């Protein structure tokens, strides 16, 4: 079993992979002229990238080695408007499991700073799974009229920045 630091370095790759997958989803929606869905997933890509950079900053601050792992290519073609959202929901559920395992690893190692660092990510994952679950329900209810989804997203507006978020390496790029 990898140490907390090794597992956190692996998670950096998982977060970058999630970012790339969200870019691929955003591009799919952009090509379908679904601007609200595209914008949502471009923003999600930035969030995932920043999650990786928060982990990088933590490791540097804690004087641990930082390893940026390679990632697999994302899925880029989809058969329906709901398929990318189903993929995103599965991805967020997987990340929740990964974050939970990281928190357990830090606790088991007696790494109280690492465990405290992971608390924000646990909270974030509850929000991310809920967001994708709700979006999937909206898409399913809209049926063939995807413009209802676009309208719903346009009315919802954006999210406020989380002042409790850990600092990301490189600042707010």
Measured distance CA(42)–CA(24) in Å, rounded = 9
Measured distance CA(90)–CA(159) in Å, rounded = 22
Portion of the chain with pLDDT greater than 70, in percent: 96
Eight-class DSSP state of 63: T
The model's confidence at residue 144, banded by pLDDT at 50, 70 and 90, is confident
How many independent structural domains does the chain possess?
A: 1
Q: Is 107 exposed, middle or buried (0-12, 13-18, 19+ CB in 10 A)?
A: middle
CATH of the domain at 66: 1.20.1260.10
Question: Per-residue pLDDT tens for 44-78?
Answer: 999 999 999 999 999 999 999 999 999 999 999 99
Per the model's pLDDT, the better-predicted residue between 2 and 44 turns out to be 44
Q: Does 170 map to a domain?
A: no
Question: Per-residue pLDDT tens for 81-97?
Answer: 999 999 999 999 999 99
- Looking at residue 74, what is its pLDDT? 97
Q: Does 169 map to a domain?
A: no
- Among residues 93, 132, 107, the alpha carbon closest in space to that of 14 is found at 93
Domain that holds residue 85: 4-156
Q: Does 83 map to a domain?
A: yes
The model's confidence at residue 172, banded by pLDDT at 50, 70 and 90, is low
- Looking at residue 82, what is its pLDDT? 96
Structural contact between residues 56 and 5, judged by C-beta atoms closer than 8 angstroms: no
Q: What is the pTM of this model?
A: 0.90
Q: Does 67 map to a domain?
A: yes
């Amino acid at each position: 079993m990898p140490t907390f630091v090794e597992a956190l370095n692996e998670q950096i790759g998982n977060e970058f992979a999630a970012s790339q997958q969200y870019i691929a989803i955003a591009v799919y929606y952009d090509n379908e002229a679904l601007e609200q869905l595209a914008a949502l997933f471009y923003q999600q890509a930035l969030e995932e990238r920043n999650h990786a950079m928060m982990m990088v900053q933590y490791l540097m601050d804690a004087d641990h080695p930082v390893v940026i792992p390679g990632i697999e290519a994302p899925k880029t073609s989809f058969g329906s408007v709901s398929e990318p959202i189903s993929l995103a929901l599965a991805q967020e559920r997987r990340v929740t499991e990964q974050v939970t395992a990281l928190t357990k690893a830090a606790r088991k190692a007696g790494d109280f700073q690492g465990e405290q660092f992971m608390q924000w990510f646990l909270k974030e994952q509850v929000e991310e799974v809920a967001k994708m679950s709700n979006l999937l329900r909206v898409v399913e209810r809209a049926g063939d009229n995807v413009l209802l989804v676009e309208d719903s997203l346009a009315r919802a507006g954006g999210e406020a920045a989380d002042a409790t978020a850990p600092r990301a390496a490189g600042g707010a790029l």
